Amino acid sequence: MTFAEAIAVLDRAVPDPSKGLPDEVFYYISRTTPLLNVDLLIKDETGRTLLSWRNDQYCGAGWHIPGGIVRFKETMETRLLKVAEREIGRPVDFDPVPIKITEMLHPERANRSHFVSFLFSCHLSSDFVPSNAGLSPGDVGFLEWHKGCPDCLIRYHQLHYGAFI
């Protein structure tokens, strides 16, 4: 198969990449190019930070700042709003100018090994209580307010964002 034929097969398999990619295509792209990511530093007026529990093959188990990879033809603002809705269950107020831009390299990984992450300052009122419907502490997606940086913040967020929490 020629390169042009392979591209034609991909074009047929992925007619609208803005709606997501098959895993095989996404992982190939993540092995060959940096990915843009938005991270939501969600604080309330008392200074607490809203974090989510994560446990996966890429980061291991620990608290993390909600975030997501920007899709094709999607603005960072749109991805930020979608992450808030998906991970928090509601919109957040946010400053449209990132407070930090970080290049994260994970040389030990084959997939998802190079990110350029944009950290956005976001706000929720202190009266926001995470629903955590059907989740218990330690379940993926469990949300909790934190006063200060928890010891078990995932390593890459600790290195790059720990001072902000």
pTM: 0.89
Contact yes or no for 31/113 (Cβ under 8 A)? yes
The whole-number pLDDT of residue 66 equals 96
Pairwise CA distance, residues 41 & 137, whole Å? 20
* Domains of the chain from N-terminus onward: 33-164 (3.90.79.10)
Round to whole Å and give the CA distance between 53 and 38.
Answer: 17
CA 64 to CA 52: how far, in whole Å? Answer: 5
Q: What is the pLDDT of residues 11-37, one digit of tens each?
A: 888 888 888 888 888 888 888 899 999
Average pLDDT over residues 25-54: 93
In this prediction, residue 3 has a pLDDT band, given cuts at 50, 70 and 90, of: confident
Cβ(103)–Cβ(156) under 8 Å? no
Which tens digits make up the pLDDT trace of 58-90?
A: 778 999 999 999 998 999 999 999 999 999 999
> Residue 147 has what pLDDT?
96
Which H or E element spans position 20? none
Q: What is the pLDDT of residue 157?
A: 87
In 3-state terms, the chain is what percent helix, strand and coil (to 5)?
30, 30, 40
> Greater confidence, 82 or 160?
82
For the chain, what is the mean pLDDT?
91
Q: What is the pLDDT of residues 89-129, one digit of tens each?
A: 999 999 999 999 999 888 888 888 899 999 999 999 999 99
Please tell me the predicted confidence (pLDDT) of residue 160. Answer: 87
Residue 80 — φ and ψ, nearest 5°?
-60, -45
What is d(CA 107, CA 137) in angstroms, rounded to the nearest whole number? 31
